[in-house]
Amino acid sequence: MGGIVGKKAGFRYVRRVLNADREMSELQKYILSYFGVTHSEAEKIEGLFRPVEIKKGEFYLHSGGSSRRLGFVQSGILREYLEVGEKEVTKWISTGGYFAVDLQSFLFDQPARWNIQALADAEVWAMDKHDYLHIAKQVPDWPRLEKLFIARCFTALEDRIVDLLALDAQQRYEVFFSQRRELLNLVPLQYLASMLGMTPETFSRIRKKQAR
pLDDT of residue 23 exceeding 80: no
What per-residue confidence (pLDDT) applies to 40? Answer: 86
The DSSP annotation for 120-137 comes to: EEEEEEEEEHHHHHTHHH
**Can you say whether residue 198 is alpha, beta or left, with left for phi > 0 and alpha for psi between -120 and 50 degrees?**
beta
The model carries a pTM of 0.83
| Domains of the chain, earliest start first | 12-139 (2.60.120.10)
pLDDT, tens digit (0-9, with 9 covering 90-100), for 181-200: 999 999 999 999 999 999 99
The CA angle 121-122-124, to the nearest 5 degrees, is: 160
pLDDT in tens, 50-82: 999 999 999 999 999 999 999 999 999 999 999
Give the tens place of pLDDT for each residue, 137-150.
Answer: 888 988 988 888 88
* 105-123 confidence digits (pLDDT tens): 999 999 999 999 999 999 9
Dump pLDDT digits (tens) for 196-206: 999 999 999 99
Instruction: Count CB-CB contacts under 10 A for residue 63.
Output: 18
Antiparallel, parallel or unpaired: β 99-100 and 59-61: unpaired
Report percent pLDDT > 90 for the chain. Answer: 60
